[in-house]
Amino acid sequence: MPVEVSIFSSGAYSIKKVARQLYRVLREHVKCKLYHGFFNPNVPRGYAIIVGNPHFWEKRIYDALKTNHNIRGFIFYMTVEGNVRESHLRHIQWLHDGVIVTPSHYVKRKLEQCGFRVEKVIPHGVEVYGDVKRRNTGTLGYIAGYLQRKYPRYGVEAVRMAGVRPYLITTGNNPYLKYFSVVSTKEYHDAHVPDWKVLKLYRDSAFYLNLSDAEGFGITPLEACAMGTPVIAPRYPPLTEFLLPFTLWVPVTGRVWYENWGGWLDIEHHEYRPADMARVIRRALGMSDREYEELSAKCIEHALRYDIRRVYTQFLDLVT
């Protein structure tokens, strides 16, 4: 019987992007279909891969498919940005009905703490690569829909202290727009911004400024690396798992605080000092062209390890 795979996702831009890239890789090896949003639950066949969070949207996908006798098994490619709340655990027991894969060991630990067995860690991949950049233009870029973890008060204060205005793709409800040079406010997290505009921001920025103090998939910093754009980021997991050692790291204070998000997740925030972030920003902008070119080349070389055809083919071990 030929292997068939059906891939499902909903929600954030990053989750949909992972699903699209996973589909493009697997269809080169097995019969594969991709489903975003609503679908006829009687149509999918083979192994069902659900990409996302252990959340009610993903449960609705699972519930729609569990009576489909053409589904041979479930694979849940799940991420979280902190601790699943104890009160929510009874709502995600459906994860026991399939194989769980996580994009990082950080997420693996978080789900195992909830009593789930994680079969495999497969990091998210990148697909598009740029050329080595020769000159430090002193520009910064950032991409994030408006969530509290994407604009912690100490990150915004660091931007103000450093006296910079990073290029930004974000959402229209962002209250911090005055600190940035806004490229787009067309709901990045809902995929209304085309991929070419995202790639252009990476390409046009000398550095990718990752202000966020918590991550799930953490896609944008690695995508920026693949475009030859060095990353400035706070030093916390899971970023420390897949960003290169010579990332322009900002030290964290060691203080961790939690945000009740949606009643089901305690997002794990890693605090850093505004002065430390501002200092790293200034050091980056003062980097010589020669040092910058070397760092840009290292970024691309590092990102090649995460090419989607290298990482996502690992899913074939679970379906063949």
pLDDT at 190: 55
Q: Left (φ > 0), alpha (ψ -120 to 50) or beta: where does 46 sit?
A: left
Which CATH code, of 3.30.420, 3.40.50, 3.30.160, 1.10.3470, is assigned to 4-126+308-319? 3.40.50
Mean pLDDT (whole number) for 85-99 = 96
Tokens encoding 275? 């002065």
Bigger pLDDT: 63 vs 169: 63
DSSP string, 177-237: GGGSEEEE-S-GGGT-S-HHHHHHHHHH-SEEE---S--SS-HHHHHHHHTT--EEEE--T
Q: Stretch 246-252: mean pLDDT, rounded? A: 96
Amino acid identity at 31: K
Average pLDDT over residues 282-310: 98
Q: How many CA atoms lie within 13 A of 289 on its CB side?
A: 4
Q: Distance between CA atoms of 189 and 169, rounded to whole angstroms?
A: 10
| Residue ranges covered by each domain of the chain | 4-126+308-319, 140-306
Residues 6+ apart with CB under 8 A from 27: none
d(CA 300, CA 298): 6
Q: Which of 47-51, 59-63, 141-145, 202-206 has the lowest mean pLDDT?
A: 141-145
Q: Give the mean model confidence (pLDDT) for residues 237-247.
A: 93
Cβ neighbours around 142 below 10 Å, total:
26
Predicted local distance difference test score (pLDDT) of residue 14: 82
Q: Band of the pLDDT at 2, cuts 50, 70, 90?
A: confident
Domain 140-306 has CATH 3.40.50.2000: yes
Span 233-246, mean pLDDT? Answer: 94
Establish whether domains 4-126+308-319 and 140-306 are of one fold.
yes
